[in-house]
Amino acid sequence: MGTADVGAVIVGAGISGLAAALELQQSMGEVVLVDPSDRPGGVLRTDHVAGFVVERGPNTFRASAALREALFGLRLDNEILRARPASRLRYVLRAGELVAVPLSPFGLARSDLLSMRAKLRLLAEPFVRRGDGAGESVAEFVRRRLGPEVLTRLVGPFLTGVYAGDEEQLGAGTVFASLVEHERRHRSIALGGLVQALSRRRPRGLPGSWSAPKGLGPFARALARQLADPPALHTRATELRWLGSRWRVSLSGPAGER
């Protein structure tokens, strides 16, 4: 296949790629979305096994105002369910047993989930030197501010449930934007959280955690159906080259080389 001029090429048809394609096709004309897998959605994947909904990736989401608007536009706003208050309790697997994660600092202090050394490390967080803002991963940010044990026993398991991603690859500025901002403005995420609590500011949107009775996978398929052109699946980007005034992206897939 030959070459073609398009407004944008997006590599990866995960939830971020789908959302970007929907946004860009309104302003940049033709948008090509490619993904090497056999379906859109990335880590967002739902299977139905013996009448049960099985999430292979994240199983809940936090509904910001922008996401609420997107769900309304897709006519999916009636397809979401808010988690019950009792579901706030979370468990992590430690030494073959499920251990409840305390929901308060006092509960965490009394819990055996963290060692005494890790608890003392948490208390020292306000005195940790502020980072240089060089784009740390979540793992780097948490290890630096809270210590390695908090990363492996708390943050890592939670990120797997929410993002189904690798904390060494996820960007702290994206996943923990508010914590990074607390550090930047107040030199400490603990002090920043206290200031925010005292100011009584609350994020806009739908509070709490949400999910869907049929799983989150259908959301990705609904987004894909809104695209002017469906995602090019089983297709890889093989080369990216700057030509002086524009980018050239080489693709390889069932449609051939282009």
Same domain, yes or no: 239 and 147 = no
Tokens representing 103?
A: 């929901």
Q: Mind listing the pLDDT tens digit for each residue in 70-84?
A: 777 777 777 787 777
Q: Mind listing the pLDDT tens digit for each residue in 125-184?
A: 999 988 876 789 999 999 999 999 999 988 888 887 677 678 898 898 888 888 888 888
Q: Mind listing the pLDDT tens digit for each residue in 173-228?
A: 888 888 888 888 888 888 777 666 656 555 554 556 778 888 889 889 988 999 99
Same domain, yes or no: 106 and 204 = yes
Average pLDDT over the chain reads 84
How many domains would you assign to the chain?
2
Please identify, among 190, 208, 226, the residue that sits at the C-terminal boundary of a domain. 208
Same domain, yes or no: 102 and 191 = yes
Q: Mind listing the pLDDT tens digit for each residue in 8-20?
A: 999 999 988 999 9
Place of tokens 């202090």: 109
Residue 64: inside a domain, yes or no? no
Same domain, yes or no: 196 and 117 = yes
* Predicted local confidence at residue 97, as pLDDT: 85
> What stretch of H or E contains 202?
none
Instruction: Tell me the residue ranges of DSSP E strands in the chain.
Output: 8-11, 31-35, 46-49, 52-55, 61-64, 81-82, 90-94, 97-101, 205-211, 232-233, 236-242, 247-253, 256-257
Q: Mind listing the pLDDT tens digit for each residue in 42-62?
A: 988 999 999 999 988 888 777
Q: Which amino acid is at 45?
A: R
- Domain extent for 165: 96-208
